[in-house]
Chain A
Amino acid sequence: MIQVENLTRYYGHTVGVRSLSFEVPRGEVLGFLGPNGAGKTTTMKMLTCYIPPTSGTARICGFDIVDEPMEVRRRIGYLPEKNPLYKDMCVREYLRYVCELKGVSRNRIKSETDRTIEQCGLEPVPNRLIGSISKGFQQRVGMAQAIINDPELLILDEPTLGLDPKQIIGVRQLIKTLGQTRTIILSSHILPEVSQVCNRIIILNDGELIAIDTPENLRSRIGKSSVLRLTLRNVPGSSKAGEILAGLDGVISIRNGPVDSDKVHLSVESKPGSDPREMIIARLVEERVPILEIRSEELSLEDIFLHLVTGEES
């Protein structure tokens, strides 16, 4: 679907992105992650043929972004970072205009407009001026213009920027639905969002690719063990629980947490890749210690991100 080869862009002497190479198979949802100024937007602007690369190139659906920009543009939908819209047009009127610009044939314009209005949940506002609807709806209008004419590739630059939590969930849901049938590239600062929505993540920093992998692999790549948090009822046997569990396979160490009048808290550190939960439960049942809660605490993407970008341990 997308092959990026040594894509490089300078703004004068400032680096936008440097020597970026990666591939995206059809149907994948790929996330761009990186701090401000990492080069996410720059990369997207090049893939959408808005700015030409300084050197290197990329092929989208087999078409070169430098040599065949028209063919590429026919196959992409783009939501820019600032979601620019014509504030003095109505939603429907605007979507019709986009249909015409994207070359939707005259007899399909109405059905295409209706489809995108429905798919993006714009039914409450089709005849309102874009400038007068809420930011959440404006963002949906931005998504709607991107998916008009059913492009094979969607490029979404921070699609949830500036929305309230409820709208964020709505837009994410929309992206997930769209991602079932399309290839999507999106960028974000919100790490859980990327791990929720994306199959793979590219981490960029200072214009360079630092890592590209699935969220799970990125976690295990850091090679940190995972931690289980246990809450037990405070019964006579529970004081020994720590010693008992320490002997189990895959368990590295046990830390005793606070002891309440009725609860005991424990942290169990396990070897990477092993999951001793079942054994722990079986052992504790044997010892007749009631388990109130057992929770696996995975390394968050924040940790991974900071680790990869700054090399800092969190």
Chain B
Amino acid sequence: MMQRLAAIYRKELKSHFQSVTAYVTIGIFFIITGYFFVNIFKFYNLLSLQSARDPSIAESLNIIERVMRPLFSNISIVLLLVLPLLTMRLIAEERKQGTFELLLTYPVRDIETVGGKFLATLTTFAVMLAGTLLFPLLLSIFADPEPGPIITGYLGLFLMGCMFISIGIFFSSLTNHQLVAGISTFGVALLFLVIGWASPFVSPAASKVLLQFSLLKHFESFAKGVLDTQDITYYLFTTFFFLFMTLKSIESNRWRS
């Protein structure tokens, strides 16, 4: 089991780092997150200058609240844009080329194929995310942020990435067209992100349900430095759900093709 999964993992990881798309994607990710970081940090500096004159501002000058939390929510938006670009080709491209057919006639279980592809993309994503650790490191030169919320925040982003990637693989397994896969992933992930916005306008019961689905709602605890099993379960459950659906979709493809 492990040898085959590892083989697929290595091949996918290599093709991520061989393709121009991946480098462009990762490059854009750093440029945008860096841009956000600089701006958020400048704003924070502005506030701290003002606080010298107006002590009432000083109370709200928590570096976690003012810098890391906005940075986390910005990163999550950028991930929403960037991860579908990494996931869209995973299965769609192989289906189009016909190599997927051949892969399915080797003694490889579907779960090994999906697992290898998922973990390879997750690794690429982890590398991307690790790159943004530069920002809290820079912060710690100027100030002394608490490590707790930063660690949990990163864990939250990582789990959110797992979820986006599993949605991405699922849509990639549904079609031969990478672009269709990418756009659908973006659409569905965006829906998970904004679904909570409707909660004030519906009945209390429905609002509760909507919030249960909301990706942002479940991220709040992480950003505050709290590990809530319910929130961790939410991300893990959706991830496994979409991976499971991917297996089902590959299975049903055999019937249709």
A positions within 8 Å CB-CB of B:
45, 48-52, 70, 73-74, 76, 78, 80, 82, 84-89, 97-98, 100-103, 106, 145
Residues of the A chain whose Cβ atoms lie less than 8 Å from the Cβ of B42: none
**B60 close to A (CB within 8 Å):** no
Q: Kindly identify, within residues 79 to 107 of chain B, every residue whose CB is under 8 Å from any CB belonging to chain A.
A: 97-99, 101-107
Residues of the A chain whose Cβ atoms lie less than 8 Å from the Cβ of B255: 51-52
B116 → chain A closest CB, angstroms: 10
In the complex the two chains form, is A78's CB within 8 Å of B11's CB?
no
With known contacts A51-B254, A51-B255, A88-B18, A102–B106 Cβ distance under 8 A: yes
CA–CA, A303 and B122, complex, Å: 59
In the complex the two chains form, is B11's CB within 8 Å of A103's CB?
no
**B7 close to A (CB within 8 Å):** yes
Residues of the A chain whose Cβ atoms lie less than 8 Å from the Cβ of B151: none
**B257 close to A (CB within 8 Å):** yes
A147 → chain B closest CB, angstroms: 13
Q: How many contacts between A and B, using CB within 8 angstroms?
A: 60
6 contacts between A and B (CB under 8 A): A50-B104, A73-B106, A87-B97, A100-B6, A101-B8, A103-B3
A91 → chain B closest CB, angstroms: 15
**B15 close to A (CB within 8 Å):** yes
Give the dominant DSSP class at B's interface: helix
For A84, give its contact among B99, B107, B254, B257 (CB under 8 Å): B99
Identity of the chain A residue whose Cβ is nearest the Cβ of B97 in the assembled complex: A84
Give the dominant DSSP class at A's interface: loop
In the complex the two chains form, is B99's CB within 8 Å of A85's CB?
yes
In the complex the two chains form, is A100's CB within 8 Å of B107's CB?
no
For A88, give its contact among B6, B15, B98, B102 (CB under 8 Å): B15
In the complex the two chains form, is A73's CB within 8 Å of B101's CB?
no
CA–CA, A74 and B19, complex, Å: 32
CA–CA, A152 and B18, complex, Å: 36
Residues of the B chain whose Cβ atoms lie less than 8 Å from the Cβ of A70: 107, 109
A146 → chain B closest CB, angstroms: 9
**B248 close to A (CB within 8 Å):** no
CA–CA, A86 and B102, complex, Å: 11
In the complex the two chains form, is A100's CB within 8 Å of B105's CB?
no
B13 → chain A closest CB, angstroms: 13
CA–CA, A102 and B107, complex, Å: 6
In the complex the two chains form, is A80's CB within 8 Å of B102's CB?
yes
Residues of the A chain whose Cβ atoms lie less than 8 Å from the Cβ of B208: none
Residues of the B chain whose Cβ atoms lie less than 8 Å from the Cβ of A80: 98, 101-102
A53 → chain B closest CB, angstroms: 11
For B105, give its contact among A52, A76, A87, A106 (CB under 8 Å): A76
Most-contacted residue by chain B among A49, A51, A101 (CB, 10 A): A101
In the complex the two chains form, is B98's CB within 8 Å of A82's CB?
yes
CA–CA, A70 and B97, complex, Å: 23
Chain B positions 246 through 257: 1 when the CB is less than 8 Å from some CB of chain A, otherwise 0: 000000001101
CA–CA, A100 and B8, complex, Å: 9
For A103, give its contact among B4, B18, B97 (CB under 8 Å): B4
